[in-house]
Amino acid sequence: MEKIKNYLEENKDRFLEELFDLIRIPSISAKEEHIDDMFKATKYIQQKLYDAGADKVEVIPTTGHPVIYGEKIIDPAKPTVLVYGHYDVQPAEPIELWKSPPFEPEVRDGKIFARGADDDKGQMFMHIKAFELMNRLNLLTTNVKFMIEGEEEVGSPSLKQFCIDNKEKLKADIILISDTTMIANDIPSITVGLRGLSYMEVEVTGPNRDLHSGLYGGAVANPINILTKMIASLTDENNHITIPGFYDDVEEVSKEERAEMAKAPFNLKTYKNELDIDEVVGEKGFSTIERTGIRPSLDVNGIWGGYIEKGAKTVLPSKAYAKISMRLVPNQNSKKIDELFIKYFESIAPKGVKVKAKSLHGGEGYVSPTDTPAYRAASKAYTETFGKKPIPTRSGGSIPIVSDFEEVLGIKSILMGFGLDSDAIHSPNENYPLFNFYKGIETIPYFYKYYSELKK
């Protein structure tokens, strides 16, 4: 439609400026000192939703960071699309590795560089602008609701309860989310699988105080030595996870489906080049795409203890810690995996140390069906604006709340992500190409159009 393109062209600079203003608010959910910024971000988004044409927008307190709820009901008899996104971002550390300050957005080489440029401010904001465009051009054929949360990056601790408490308000036919990636700008894809997550913190305690590593070294168990051995034993030589029962509920994907997955374009050489690695490492018997898409994994996210400042201090530490995450596949249950992990981790602790393991957060995976009006509408929308039919793919990432949406609200989600793997989300120099930002805004209205046609 010519008028969509024209509206975009006429307003593109303003759209970008508005996104920049949102990015400049450092809404880092993990850090208490940013509590005012969280509030500022909600107020900003509330205003933008009103400006875009929402009838009612509320900033609703939760036990954690507030949720923004907005709506425009054009006709209760028409289908309703509920847009979900998050305004919180990951911490920016290590700051010194950023080429420009993380909360001062800058365009270089056609990309927006900033924390949140993609995840999820850039992607979420596309929906507000697409909503504005549809209102101004009289294209809206469905009711629209928005639920933008501020705790996604810390595991959405309040959102499930929020959904339980607001079930009626959140009633919708489909949840629309842009918080995932596509294969490439010339190979559009739709994410149909997300992994679940089980995130643990472990503590190993040896002697009751830090000791002189000469006077005691060799005679007393060193918790860091022990912890690293314990972690090493969690996977075997085939990169199989050794926790008993871990794979019990893993759904084996059929040969046919694996063959279908293998058709998705993937270049191992480019993959390795982009990461500066000379080999990929993962579970034996599976391809790289399969290792992240249909198989679980276990990773240490951080490990600490002892002396880590400049220079040398001879110390045999009293304690060692690690944060360990397990990505799960659909049908595995994160609570069950937490228990299996804790039981096993405690069981492999040698005499001479005490071990504690606890779960920090987690959630379930999700598989989105492809034989639905929502998938078909999304597929037609991408085909319209990218000129190519999108490929269904399974992502390795997690948005645990998506399975809660289905459980609590009984609503399925469609993942129309416009990010790229190279956007460096959660890393220094996170970025989002302008192409993707504008293409997203252009594509979203077609989803609404086709969805209302196909939903009848």
Catalytic residues: 88, 152
The only residue of 37, 71, 118, 119 in contact with Mn ion, by rule CB under 5 A: 119
Site for ligand BES in 375-434 (CB under 6 A): 395, 397-400
Residue 398 binding target from ligand BES, Mn ion, none, CB below 5 to 8 Å by type = ligand BES
Q: Does 179 bind Mn ion (CB under 5 A)?
A: yes
Among 152, 173, 338, 430, binds ligand BES (CB under 6 A): 152
CB of 65 to ligand BES, least distance (A): 14
Tell which positions 194-253 bind ligand BES, by CB under 6 A. Answer: 197
- Identity of the residue, 158 or 318, whose beta carbon is nearer to ligand BES in the bound complex: 158
Query: Which residue, 37 or 119, is less far from Mn ion as judged by CB?
Result: 119
Distance in Å, CB of 400 to ligand BES, minimum: 5
Q: How far is the CB of 40 from ligand BES (least distance, A)?
A: 20
Question: How far from 140 is each of 82, 85, 144, 196, 444, CA to CA, in Å?
Answer: 14, 20, 9, 34, 11
Which residues from 109-138 bind ligand BES, rule CB under 6 A?
A: 119-120
**Residue 152 vs 364, nearer CB to ligand BES:** 152
Picked from ligand BES, Mn ion, none, the partner binding residue 181 (CB below 5 to 8 A depending on kind) is ligand BES
* Closest CB to ligand BES: residue number: 397
Closer residue to ligand BES in complex, CB, 54/416: 416
Q: Which residue from 181, 334, 379, 393 is in contact with ligand BES, where contact means CB under 6 A? A: 181
88 near Mn ion, rule: CB under 5 A: no
- 61 contacts: CB under 8 Å, gap ≥ 6: none
Q: Does 338 bind Mn ion (CB under 5 A)?
A: no
Site string for Mn ion, 123-162 (x = CB under 5 A): ----------------------------------------
State the residues that interact with ligand BES by CB under 6 A.
119-120, 152-153, 155, 179-181, 197, 395, 397-400
